[in-house]
Amino acid sequence: MTVKVPQILVVEDDASIRCGIVDALSFSGYEVIEGRDGAEGMQLADSASYDLLLLDLVMPVHTGFEILEMLAKRRPGQPVIILSARGEEADRVHGLTMGADDYIVKPFSVRELLARVDAVLRRSVERKAREARVKIGNWMLDGSFLKKEAKEVELSGREVDILHYLVQANGRVVSRDELLKRVWNIQAKQLETRTVDMHMVRLRQKLDDSDQLILQTVRGKGYRLGGENFTS
């Protein structure tokens, strides 16, 4: 049986950094596509076939944030790892809430990069493998869509992961730190927890859950799905 080799798109305008990343990925057995600046990166991110995007933020013509915005509209759920020298919390939170799966601050080691790539690709495969439909409140979670009567709302890959994790918790309160570790695959000390709260706000909007009957906040402890509002 032929095993499909993951294809990775690297969008980075610094030639030396890009070449180092491409060499490391190629040596590890991945197929690599290169985007040399924001313009070429935007075009490739939209039209090329790839499993994972490694994306710089500060580039000429189009920034990484602009590329993320395009992906949210045209390729929702596309796995993305941001590579940036901008390690401020605001940038990390912004990138993650725009749909990125991970955020690596430059400079980074090849070992760290490959570990993060492997983790995101593994979660992506697990996400695609999910076929079970899950009832959440008066919604049906079907793949990457919430469905209710004639209404259909598309979720990001991260939002799908959050809901599945809360369903599996079976009504147990899940802390922000646990969500960061299990869904984002990062330790809480590496990122302020406001990114979790922001995702919850967006999920409540999509669930029409302003009264928090489905996605409940337990003050000082975390989140849970309402006990009478979900089945799996």
67 Cβ contact list (under 8 Å, min separation 6): 11, 38, 41, 42, 45, 55
Residue 198 pLDDT greater than 60, yes or no: yes
Domain 7-128: give its CATH superfamily: Response regulator (3.40.50.2300)
Q: What is the mean pLDDT of residues 33-44?
A: 96
The answer to whether 101 touches 120, Cβ cutoff 8 Å, is yes
Instruction: Report whether pLDDT(232) > 50.
Output: no
- Model confidence at 19: pLDDT above 70: yes
Does residue 2 surpass a pLDDT of 60? no
Are 81 and 117 a contacting pair, CB within 8 Å?
Answer: yes
Domain 131-231 has CATH 3.40.50.620: no
Tens of pLDDT along 137-171? 889 998 889 999 889 999 888 898 899 889 888 88
pLDDT-based confidence at residue 208 (cuts at 50, 70, 90): very high
Q: What pLDDT does 99 receive?
A: 83
Of the candidates 46, 48, 47, 67, the one whose C-alpha atom is nearest the C-alpha of residue 56 is: 67
Out of 29-43, 142-156, 186-200, the most confident range is: 29-43
Q: Is the pLDDT of residue 3 over 70?
A: no
In the chain, CATH 1.10.10.10 sits at: 131-231
Q: Which two tokens stand for residue 15?
A: 């030639």
Residue 188's pLDDT is 61
At 5 the pLDDT is: 86
Residues of the chain with CATH 3.40.50.2300: 7-128
What's this model's pTM, rounded to 2 decimal places?
A: 0.64
Per-residue confidence (pLDDT) for residue 192, from 0 to 100: 56
Decide: 65 and 94 in contact? Cβ < 8 Å.
yes
Burial 100-133 (b: 16+ CB within 10 A, else e): bbbbbbeeeeeeebeebbeebbebbeebeeeeee
Distance of CA 126 to the CA centre of its chain: 13
In tens, the pLDDT along 60-112 reads: 999 999 999 999 888 888 899 999 887 677 777 788 888 888 889 899 999 99
